[in-house]
Amino acid sequence: MRGCRAWDPVWGGAPRYMEKLEHPLWIVQAVNAAFGPLVRAMLRALGRTPAPGDVIPDYLVMAALIILFWTVVSLIVRRQLSVDNPGKLQISIEDAIGALQSMLRDYVGHKGPRYLAIVTTMFVFILSGNLMGLVPGLKSPTSSINVTLGCALTVAVYYHIQGVKEQGLFHYLKHFAAPPGAPIFLAPIMLPIEIISHLSRVLSLSLRLFGNIFGEDLVILILFSIIPFVVPLPMMFLGLITASLQAFIFVLLSTIYLGGAVATEHEQNEHGEMAAGEV
């Protein structure tokens, strides 16, 4: 059955009916039994009093499982890679990487492939997290706002850093007050709009992913509590589509934001002229 917790603490607690539906995950209990005392001791040393219950949240355990799983898979697959005689798995991986590189070139430009690592990592982590809840005894870490907010903040910090590296601090900050094509006297109006726009990107990325996966988990959990094994199957199949779609949307929007951050004014003008020529 798909493990699903209620709202995270940052959302003010869970409704009472959700407390009756949720159930403890054995792997979370095992991790807390093994590492919980050490974590509690570290928190006390830092002057913080651990809350009662599991000191290591379930979403952190699930996220660690994803990292461990893909680390082991990468080490195994690495031994089977061959330049002269690639297997079907290697060809599939190369095709997937080629598709991501093509998307990066379309939205970021010729320097897009240099950002392949962050885009691929985000896609694999989010897709794995979305699908994990379909495995009995596990849950989706992306059904926690803490995880989705962390992913969104990672993307936001990363593309701002890359924007400063590409354009320089002054020119990057300048485009907040005077985007290309906007007259400078509109700076007092454009600056707060741009700041709100970038903050809303973080909210949009995190809440969209959280809402879809949490809602899907909740529906499947309720169906399982009513009639197990049969009724939830159509919703679980739909979950496969939702998981892939939400991971793609998150990565696509991240790529668009990254492209806007690293594009210089000259490149933006060139892109505008090409678009005008195509029209």
DSSP per-residue codes, 122-163: HHHHHHHHHHHTTSTT---GGGSHHHHHHHHHHHHHHHHHHH
Residue 16 is part of which domain span?
9-23+58-278
Does residue 149 form part of some domain?
Answer: yes
Predicted local confidence at residue 61, as pLDDT: 94
- Residue 156's CB is within 10 A of a number of other CB atoms, namely 19
CA distance 163 to 44: 40
150-165: pLDDT as tens digits: 999 999 999 999 999 9
The set of residues, in sequence order, having a beta carbon less than 8 Å from that of 248 and lying 6+ positions away, is 123
Q: Is 38 part of any domain?
A: no
Evaluate if residue 9 carries a pLDDT over 70: no
Residue 42 lies in a domain: no
Q: Is the pLDDT of residue 16 over 80?
A: no
Long-range Cβ contacts of 183-188 (<8 Å, 24+ apart) = none
Query: By percentage, how much of the chain surpasses pLDDT 70?
Result: 85
More confident residue, 21 or 208: 208
Among 93-97, 127-131, 184-188, 263-267, top mean pLDDT goes to 127-131
- The answer as to whether 145 is a domain residue is yes
* CA distance linking residue 5 with residue 182, whole number of Å: 47
Rounded to 5°, the CA angle 235-202-16 comes to: 50
The answer to whether residue 119 scores a pLDDT higher than 70 is: yes
Banded pLDDT at 5 (limits 50, 70, 90): very low
pLDDT at 264 (0 to 100): 66
Lowest mean pLDDT among 33-42, 137-146, 257-266: 257-266
Contact indicator for 56, 28 with CB cutoff of 8 Å:
yes
Q: Is the pLDDT of residue 116 over 90?
A: yes
Half-sphere exposure in the Cβ direction for 95 (13 Å, CA): 7
Q: What is the per-residue pLDDT across 68-78, written as a single tens digit (0 to 9) for each?
A: 999 999 998 88
Give the pLDDT band of residue 10 (cuts 50, 70, 90): very low
Confidence (pLDDT) at 248 = 94
Number of domains composing the chain: 1
In a domain, 3, yes or no: no
In the predicted model, is pLDDT for residue 95 greater than 70?
Answer: yes
In a domain, 46, yes or no: no
Contact between 126 and 209 under an 8 Å Cβ cutoff? The reply is: yes
Task: Check residues 122 and 20 and name the one with the higher pLDDT.
Answer: 122
Instruction: Determine the average pLDDT of the residues in 42-51.
Output: 85
Assess if residue 265 is contained within a domain: yes
Confidence (pLDDT) at 156: 95
Identify the band that residue 216 occupies on the pLDDT scale cut at 50, 70 and 90.
confident
In a domain, 47, yes or no: no
